[in-house]
Structure 1
Amino acid sequence: MTADQKAMIHSHFEKVGTECMKDNMISTDDISSLRAKKLPSGENVPCFLACVLKKTGTMDDKGMLQKETALELAKKVFNDDEELQLIADYLHSCSHINSEAVSDGEKGCERAMLSYKCMTENASKFGLEL
């Protein structure tokens, strides 16, 4: 991943994150944790993450992850087949999240936290620095 590609992804998520803060305020500590790829503990973090995933098309309105949509978004940033296959494998590594039992259903907040945890844990296995 080039520095430009990384910057483009970060910029997009920062913009979406700012929009999601309106309804799901998170602390500066939570923001720092997210930027450091650590699991934040704030009360509003799960729904903040659900908002971000939904606005980026990575999660649908029913609170389920959409790896196909995420892969389509990746195609706008990456044009190398090998990179795209790596990203597809990475996204697939967290697809089991959709079968996890959650208590908030379509809201997607719990599943978003599970997804974030899985994605941050698995990124290094695929050589991704997000």
Structure 2
Amino acid sequence: MSLEFSAFTVKTRKDLECETKNYKMSEFMGVLCAIVMSLNSVYTDAPLGLGDINTILLDCAKENKVTNDQLRTVVTSQDTKSVNSCFFACLFKRSKIMNDKGEFDVKSGLTYVRQVLPGRPETAVAESIIKECESVKNTAVNDGEAGCERAALLVACLLEQTTKKARKPK
């Protein structure tokens, strides 16, 4: 089963997978997609269903007036500035990466990584990316509990760290 959300398709299987439909999925968007899927399932009693993912993505897009074209731009170019940062805050809050006070929850991020990638080589890299972005939780922002500014900082950090890790020789 899969659900189509404009520029990308989300598939749920034993090994969580996110892929694009007609676009190359950036590593960052893959991580973001997996975070939304997996962290939400960590905090619910039932496994995350496709309807839940669809609801999160569509509700956050609607609430923040994010268009399909803007999402397509993020997926294809990694230009997160084309999307209202409150969209990312909405995704992060609903997936418990950010709490209701708009604060980045590093512990939840690390829990997610360990549950989604147990024993896989990517686990250490994903954990290090989250840890590298821990400073975001202490950065002063002007929008308080809204979390939009912090979400923008977190997205920028995750993208930067993912790019750095991808460029390192293996």
Which TM bucket (shorter chain)?
0.7 to 0.9
Aligned to 2:88: 49
Equivalent residue, structure 2, for 1:22: 62
1:108 aligns with 2:119: no
Q: Given the alignment of the two structures, is residue 40 of structure 1 paired with residue 81 of structure 2, yes or no?
A: yes
Which deviates more from structure 2 when the two are superposed, residues 9-18 or residues 25-34?
A: 9-18
1:50-129 correspondence runs (5 A): 50-80=89-119, 82-127=121-166
Amino acid at match of 1:31: L
Q: Is the 8 A contact 2:113 2:127 kept in 1?
A: no
- Structure 1 letter corresponding to 2:71: I
- Match for 1:7: what amino acid? C
**CA-to-aligned-CA distance 1:15-61 (integer Å, 9 cap, x gap):** 3322212321212232112223222334xx11111000001111111
AA in 2 matched with 1:91: I
TM-score using structure 2 length? 0.63
Q: For this pair of structures, how many residues does the alignment match?
A: 123
Cα-to-partner distance string for 1:57-81 (whole Å, 9 max, x where unaligned) = 1111111111210121223321116
- Off by >4 Å, runs of 4+ in structure 1: none
The 2-side partners of 1:121 and 1:26 are apart by 23
Contact 2:60–2:91 under 8 Å retained in 1 = yes
* TM-score when normalising by structure 1: 0.79
User: Bigger relative contact order, structure 1 or 2, given CA contacts below 8 A and separation 6+?
Assistant: 1
Instruction: Output the CA distance in 1 between the equivalents of 2:69 and 2:157.
Output: 21
**Corresponding residue number in structure 1 for 2:49:** none
State the percentage of identical aligned residues.
Answer: 27
Higher strand share: 2
Unaligned runs of 5+ in 1: none
Distance 2:157 2:108 in 1: 18
- Amino acid across the alignment from 1:101: A
Which consecutive unaligned segments of at least 5 residues does structure 2 have? 1-14, 20-29, 39-52
Q: From the two aligned structures, give the one with the greater helix fraction.
A: 1
Instruction: Verify the 8 A CA contact 1:30 1:40 in the aligned structure 2.
Output: no
